[in-house]
Chains A and B, each alone.
Chain A
Amino acid sequence: MSLTDLSLAAAREGLRRGDFTARELTEAHLTAIEALNPRLNAYVTVMADRALDQADAADAARSRGEDRPLLGLPLAIKDLFCTEGVRTTAASRILGPFVPPYESTVTANLLRDGAVFLGKANLDEFAMGSSNITSAFGPVENPWKRQGDPATVLVPGGSSGGSGAGVAARLALGATGTDTGGSIRQPASFCGIAGIKPTYGRCSRWGIVAFASSLDQAGPMARTVQDCAILLRSMAGHDPKDSTSIDRPVPDYEAACRRSVKGLRIGVPREYRAEGMPAEIERLWEQGLAWLRDAGAEIIEVSLPHTKYGLAAYYIVAPAEASSNLARYDGVRFGLRVEGEDLRDMYERTRAEGFGAEVRRRILIGTYVLSAGYYDAYYLRAQKVRALILRDFTEAFARVDALLTPTAPSAAFAQGEKMDDPVKMYLNDIFTVPASLAGVPGMSVPAGLDGDGLPLGLQVLGRPFDEETVFAVAAAIERAAGFEALPSLRAGA
């Protein structure tokens, strides 16, 4: 078995046992990146020298008898996390050559625990997208292929598409993602890996380029549920620099993966039976429920009656916040500046040249919904919907311990599909957005393949700050599903 095929947990054991060094593990991944990244475009920036230095430091630390949770484990970092001294782009031209003089709290936590950073992963521009098509550095290719159709390039999902594709293709043991409306869970589903968006406030947002502040939440993506649990434990924690970060102890998520689901009540929200959902997704969902029932869980139908308003509310709240958050990219202090005749002209030229079409669209939507005369009809009403959606979840979680739904209404689609109509693209987020609006944790776990041999994920939603139950349920599905299919494009293939 090649080093790049190891799970994060297995690599951790191998390093502890001295089967190989962090340098060997890192070199194996850098070699894989060199071979595959030109095609997959999963990384915007590869940090080879720095990664090797970190690996050497990890080996030296281990030889001194040190052990840390992630010592010597190579990861990909979504290029939305500011990394000190390493260009951070948010996949946008407007950040240009921006090199942050600071390290985001989440990545600092990972470095504290000994992680090695292989590079900065591609994403949709400013995390706005569900296909990684909007990146200023070009789209990411999903390493999975439809059976018998190796030519068609599929999207990895988004916005954490580089993280998803990179982990699936064995270009990293795990990755950080961020999820605003599904940006961890949907690409995890499309790429056949696991990914969790923890409760809003669980991971610090400090140093993450903001998209929609009330929704943005960092989380891990990896090939197993346990690997996600290992990573989340390091990423999470209270941060006084983020006023929305919550001061609660970080539990042992890895232990939670071993918990039985026996006696757990699992809710099935009836409103998630979306019209036009492929039958195979419907079947997989039923299968997931059956696995849980077999493992001793009780399945209960619940209602989340305001689900159907979720997407509309999301596409008001998120752009509204984005329109304000992205005002700072004005060419005055950092990043791209396009000179103009006066201040206003400079703003207009800089922002017109710096932002891609999807970002511009969302800034326009957001500006519109916050405008005088429209605020009450759009933004305020969306906030009311948001409160109702949270109430739906609160009431459901009074009856059940977790919910099970599909992650996305389809498997990965081809580049070019759904590109003509932004609303069609937005529909990808239909199952992931409600949990984002409510701030509750959600995890996608690979559960099966569709008729074309493409991976499909199931989504486990939990109570706020009850990631442990989410991990337990996701791990039970993972065990039952025995998902062993591999993408056609991967290291060593």
Chain B
Amino acid sequence: MSYTIEGETGLWEVVIGMEVHAQVISRAKLFSGAATDFGGDPNTQVSFVDAAFPGMLPVINRECVAQAIRTGLGLNAHINVVSRFDRKNYFYADLPAGYQISQYQHPIVGSGTIEIELADCSTKPIGVTRLHVEQDAGKSLHDQHPTKSYIDLNRAGVALMEIVSEPDLRSPEEAGAYLRKLRTILRYLGTCDGNMEEGSMRADVNVSVRKHGEPFRTRCEVKNVNSVRFVMQAIEAEARRQIQVWESGGIVEQETRLFDAGRGATRSMRTKEDAHDYRYFPDPDLLPLVLDEAWIEELKATLPELPDAKRRRFMEQYGLPAYDAGVLVAEQATAEFYETVAKGRDAKLAANWVMGDFFAALNRTGRTIETSPVSAASLGKLLDLMADGTINGRIAKEVFEAMVDTGDEPAIIVEKKGLRQVTDAGAIDEAVDKVLAANAEKVAQYKSGKERLFGFFVGQVMKAMAGKGNPALVNEALRRKLS
């Protein structure tokens, strides 16, 4: 059953389209040579072009164009060999020229597709309408002075890609999956860091509701929602608001709204009446952008393996279930880490360790895969110690925790702590005898048919051996002595 919201008059379907602004990873801005580093002191990364001084002219940054093409290719989209820059005119203090250079009628990338994965491991293709390149604005700081606003132009002129989806999304979950998938693709491509908190990826969400089988009703745009979770909350809140309006006999007006995360509701920002007239027209300072086909091919040839392809490969090559493969490819660094661990080893066991103990350790220590105290090579060696019988699985967990704490190699920890598995039959027999002698009553119960007690005996023996007994030998000895 697809996602619906129950209103007083029945079930409502939610229709969602996304406009994502993704800041392009590039050393310089879209039309100037100024740096793009995040977090510089205010107004330290501003050229005269960015500040729109008289007589200054934009010159397109080739690397930003390459990034847009890579992204288009990564979205399986059509690359438009000829595109054009337009001016979007409006006045604001953090928009120095009084216009934003954008692509209105002729974007660099046409239609494409993003395949999203849902919780039940099914996939759904979401249409991408277009991707265009444009300049970011500066930042207005209203909280620095009681009566004045401060302007920081460091961000002014940084390249953005606006990625517009078709209204193909039908639930907050799908919208979340879309954003996460898009972010994954962008990060794989190295075209945007996808960091929503720092604002390098921002989402505007178009939401409407309808009864099943109806054409689209009026949509509202919810602006600048800065996390996947908030996007999902905003969609539900906005859909419920619209249902309430329709059901109380009202009409949803097309407008721009803001999501108030504190209140968990959207509020009106501007209505259609006071919408800007942006007076778009082709920027006469820039020639049409004409791409060389050979260059596009060159960029295509150097694209990394993308998440969908990698996920399919992980399923085939390593025999992983779809879920595991999906989790492991979500970040390129994770996939790389996994492949290092899995190489020449039990791939499923490697997946379990990476997704289980390793992720848990990162969470617990607040580290990332890049700053992890345990390297993929070390984790691989730990798996080797299990495979060759040096330690058993239970001890492996103890060794792993010590690796997290100390960063030491597993073999060193095993030696230092004396955790080597005991395979000496005499020692195991001795431990078994002691346990059976101390639990004569339970031995009698076992022998009269309470076979579940076998596990209890195993546990007691392992405990007596400080966990180091070889599980197979312990089992064998117990079975022998209890029979």
Contacts and interface: CB of A to CB of B under 8 A. Distances in A.
Interface of A: 81-82, 88, 90, 95, 98, 100-102, 104, 205-210, 212-214, 240-244, 320-321, 323-324, 327-328, 330, 332-334, 343-344, 347, 367, 370-372, 375, 379
A323 B278 CA distance: 12
A330 B281 CA distance: 21
B45 to A, nearest CB: 15
Contacts of A370: 89, 279-281
A324 B55 contact: no
A343 B54 CA distance: 21
Contacts of A207: 55-56
Contacts of B59: 240-243
B54 A82 contact: yes
28 contacts: A82-B54, A82-B55, A90-B54, A100-B53, A102-B55, A205-B55, A209-B55, A210-B55, A212-B284, A241-B57, A243-B57, A243-B287, A244-B284, A244-B286, A320-B281, A323-B89, A324-B87, A324-B99, A327-B91, A327-B99, A328-B52, A328-B53, A328-B54, A328-B96, A334-B54, A343-B92, A343-B93, A379-B281
Given A243-B286, A321-B284, A104 B55 contact: yes
A454 to B, nearest CB: 34
A334 B57 CA distance: 17
B167 to A, nearest CB: 23
Interface string B84-119: 000101011100111100000000000000000000
Contact of B98 (A88, A209, A330): A330
B316 interface: no
Chain B CB within 10 Å — which of A241, A243, A320 has the most?
A243
Contacts of B96: 328, 332-333
A243 B49 CA distance: 13
B151 interface: yes
Nearest to A346: B93
B293 interface: no
Contacts of B98: 324, 327-328, 330
Given A213-B284, A243-B287, 14 more contacts: A81-B55, A82-B54, A88-B54, A208-B55, A210-B54, A324-B89, A324-B281, A327-B97, A328-B53, A328-B96, A330-B91, A343-B149, A371-B279, A372-B279
A244 B287 contact: yes
B97 A243 contact: no
Nearest to B94: A332
Interface residues of B, number: 30
Interface of B: 48, 51-60, 87, 89, 91-93, 96-99, 149, 151, 277, 279-281, 284-287
| Chain A interface SS verdict (over half) | loop
A332 B54 contact: no
A100 B57 CA distance: 15
Nearest to B278: A372
A189 B449 CA distance: 120
A82 B287 CA distance: 24
Contact of B54 (A209, A240, A241, A347): A209
B270 to A, nearest CB: 14
A242 B54 contact: no
B54 A244 contact: no
Contacts of B279: 323-324, 367, 370-372, 375
Contacts of B48: 101-102
Contact of A95 (B54, B92, B277, B281): B54
The 7 closest A-B pairs by CB, nearest first: A327-B98, A214-B284, A370-B279, A213-B284, A207-B55, A328-B52, A209-B54
Nearest to B279: A370
A167 B365 CA distance: 77
A442 to B, nearest CB: 20
A478 B98 CA distance: 46
Contacts of A343: 92-93, 149
A333 B51 contact: yes
B55 to A, nearest CB: 4
A324 B56 CA distance: 14
A243 B285 contact: yes
Contacts of A213: 284-285
A212 B59 CA distance: 18
A207 B98 CA distance: 18
B59 to A, nearest CB: 5
Contacts of B287: 243-244
A83 B220 CA distance: 49
B277 A372 contact: yes
A332 B151 contact: yes
A321 B279 CA distance: 11
A243 B62 CA distance: 13
Nearest to A242: B57
Nearest to A333: B51
Contacts of A327: 89, 91, 97-99
A331 to B, nearest CB: 10
Contacts of B60: 243
A240 B56 CA distance: 12
A347 B91 contact: yes
Contacts of A206: 55-57
A257 to B, nearest CB: 31
